[in-house]
Structure 1
């Protein structure tokens, strides 16, 4: 998650002004916990903890779900983010110098995948599981969840730059994780990112998450992977970063940008990877985040 230091982000920033809320995030980093479990660990009343949980939930830092227990229903809290990056200096020269695009996860334009693999829409499976041929089905554009044991998917991002306008920064946000048979939360995968054939860097995802149900995962989906991690990939003037962690020195000038030619974005887990742990991608109405692959293109006007 990448946010700017801005008054509109006060609900998030205020969450870090309370030692109690920070301790709650620490506890949830270990595992999801109920309100009563948090209250016991903190030595506070459930009523006080509930008020802090409401602030964290409103800020989008945690989510809660009501589940059945031995003594009735209980509210369980889950930490939503692996990292939050604070951006002190805005990268937006002006509002007119940025455009945004939402690319559905099923709208890839090229692929090479190997089992385990499959596609799912919000209403059901698309084709047969573990049969790569169905990645060519015309219905693949309806997919809200795609997965593969190794290989790649590639997306075309429209390039609306004209004349001598110069790309300053390209930012992509997506929900992603490893792919294990069924699921395995300790299943590392070396996931590579590239743009226009230029490798941006590699990130090792820690696992394939299925222990807790995804916030948006449809009720018909009952087994296997439930959600991923929300990651933000940024190619800027001083290099390429994933959630604020530097991946490489690649900048926009290294991408061979041509007017009228789309950007080609590839997500891959090659068979030669040290951790060949596959890839899961989630779109809107699947996983924990109601979004597709969200792209922001920031550029400088023609000199």
Structure 2
């Protein structure tokens, strides 16, 4: 989640002005707790903890539900957000009058790959080949993939370029759900994930982990092998640099890319073996994870007429 630092988001920002509320977040990071457990850990009354919980709930940072306890029902609290990005300065966006088009590329529709285990592909209903056997990444059935993962290597997608000679690209944005790839899962498993556009490295993002402690909103019930969901990230290559969720990654701009009329854009997602944190990549498409989408690409452009 990304928010602009402004008065309209005071409900969220005020949550971090209290040491008690920050400590509650720290406790819920490991596992859900009920009110009594939180009160004992914080050495506070249940009434005071309940007030702090209400503020965190109102801000959308945590969620809670009632569960049967030893004596009646109990309120069980858990984290709702995996991350929160604060945006202090608005990045330079394409002009409001810029034209645009969007395409949604299935995660299994990659044009090239080179992966090493752990690795595999599944659709929304079944496994697509054997796990940890890279040969199945060549299987024609890969286009059905709703979730794929690899310990190191890359997958590369061809994005259709619908612009004609009289049009100029202003920006390209990618929205995708992804995370690290650990055997089983490990929420403390950093991975340096590299993003390339037309063979140019636009930036590297370190994902904090491979998320499996909570089932993904759209993850099918039959899936029980660790990873459940990723984080929704927006990568934007603009005229003033490359941004991830509004935070500048590098100075690589749209002008630095070899964008040629009539040629597809090539978008590569990689986890290099020589990276400081070679923690792999897990990608999620429709029917898996927390967001019912594949890789959404938006191209902004101007007419030069």
The TM-score normalised by the length of structure 2 is: 0.82
Q: Which residue of 2 aligns with 1:232?
A: 234
Q: Which residue of 2 aligns with 1:287?
A: 289
Structure 1 residues 69 and 151: CA distance shift in structure 2, 3 A: farther
Which sits farther off after the overlay, 140-149 or 84-93?
A: 84-93
Q: Which residue of 2 aligns with 1:274?
A: 276
- 1:221 pairs, out of 220, 223, 227, with 223
Q: Which residue of 2 aligns with 1:200?
A: 202
- 2:162 pairs, out of 160, 163, 172, with 160
**1:1-303 maps to which residues of 2 (within 5 A)?**
1=1, 13=9, 15-16=11-12, 19-20=14-15, 26=22, 27-28=24-25, 31=29, 33-34=32-33, 36=35, 40=39, 43-44=47-48, 46=50, 49=53, 53=57, 55-57=58-60, 74-84=75-85, 86=87, 88=90, 91-94=93-96, 97-303=99-305
Which sits farther off after the overlay, 80-89 or 155-164?
A: 80-89
| In 2, Cα distance between equivalents of 1:25 and 1:162 | 54
Shift of 1:95: 5.9
Question: Is this contact kept in 1: 2:235–2:244, CA < 8 A?
Answer: yes
Shift of 1:46: 4.5
Number of aligned positions between the proteins: 294
Question: Is this contact kept in 2: 1:114–1:132, CA < 8 A?
Answer: yes
The CA RMSD over aligned residues, in Å, is: 3.2
For residues 213-272 of structure 1, the C-alpha deviation after alignment (integer angstroms, 9 at most, x for no partner) is: 222211111131111122111111111122233322111111111112111000001222
| In 1, Cα distance between equivalents of 2:220 and 2:263 | 37
For residues 20-73 of structure 1, the C-alpha deviation after alignment (integer angstroms, 9 at most, x for no partner) is: 5876984436615457369856954758845862x445xxx6666777766667
For residues 83-136 of structure 1, the C-alpha deviation after alignment (integer angstroms, 9 at most, x for no partner) is: 335474772423661222211211111111111100111112111101111111
Question: Is this contact kept in 1: 2:56–2:62, CA < 8 A?
Answer: no
Which sits farther off after the overlay, 236-245 or 39-48?
A: 39-48
| In 1, Cα distance between equivalents of 2:294 and 2:36 | 34
Structure 1 residues 90 and 253: CA distance shift in structure 2, 3 A: closer
Larger radius of gyration: 2
Question: Is this contact kept in 2: 1:63–1:80, CA < 8 A?
Answer: no
Question: Is this contact kept in 2: 1:16–1:22, CA < 8 A?
Answer: no
Structure 1 residues 51 and 122: CA distance shift in structure 2, 3 A: farther
Structure 2: runs of 5+ lacking an equivalent: none
Shift of 1:274: 2.4
The TM-score normalised by the length of structure 1 is: 0.83
